[in-house]
Amino acid sequence: MSSSKDRIMETIYMALILITVFVCHPQTFYAQVKFKGEPDIHESLEEKDRNHGFEGCTDITINSVLDACYTLDGEYVGPFPLGIDQYAVEVTNATNVAPGLKLPFWVRGIGAERDSLYVDMIPHQEGGREYFIGGHDVSFFVNYRSLKGKVELMTLDEIRRKYCPKEEEPVVFMINKFFIMRQPDLYKVDKDFIYKVEVVHSKDFDVLKDMGAFTII
């Protein structure tokens, strides 16, 4: 009995050491900024959580299908709405929602230059107009309205400067599981929808540590 008890105490002791080491020395692998607790998962056997709706996509899909334009209260959030809480918004105007796209409307705050786009015709229909964002032909629009009042949207570089100010370029950004491989300046994230920011350095990867340094946020 004593031997069994000793083994249990030894296991607990080792676990405490591991936890203490990780807490006291988080830089040994990555640094992270913690925010309020993550929201409950709105998921059942019948319905997938809407915030996880794109998880079936691959990184290649997310970074190659760039013909969509998503906005929140008129502000551009990206070619995919990865950075907004789908339970805090509703669709007010969309290409694929009856009765179709309601015109005209403005898309504001596009990219680092915060450009604007005036949409007054259905794209690609006869006599219609072509619209371009970041050099990509856009034919699909989804406009959301916030259900929680004013939303503060942050670019990925604003997130870097606010939460990881010591990290300099080059930086590779990820939103949840997805690498943002092309034009990261096009994406925005709802500040209140940020639950954790992690920093990983290329030197933490055995296969990358001898190459040029970069950071993943």
Segment 132-154, tens digit of pLDDT: 999 999 989 999 999 999 999 99
- Asked if residue 159 lies in contact with residue 194, where contact means CB atoms within 8 angstroms, the answer is yes
The amino acid present at 207, given as its one-letter code, is V
Among residues 156, 175, 177, 182, the alpha carbon closest in space to that of 167 is found at 156
Query: Which backbone phi and psi does 30 adopt, to 5 degrees?
Result: -150, 160
User: Which of 37-41, 86-90, 129-133, 156-160 bottoms out in mean pLDDT, i.e. has the lowest?
Assistant: 37-41
Q: What pLDDT score does 39 carry?
A: 63
Q: pLDDT (tens digit, 9 = 90+) per residue, 4-37?
A: 555 544 543 444 333 333 333 444 344 566 666 6
**Spatial separation of the C-alpha atoms in residues 146 and 109, rounded to whole Å:** 16
> pTM (2 decimals)?
0.77
What is the predicted pLDDT for the residue at 52?
82
* Structure confidence at residue 186 (pLDDT): 96
Residue 43 pLDDT grade (very low, low, confident, very high; cuts 50, 70, 90): low
Among candidate residues 87, 85, 84, the one with its CA nearest the CA of residue 76: 84
Instruction: Report which of residues 33 and 187 the model is more confident about.
Output: 187
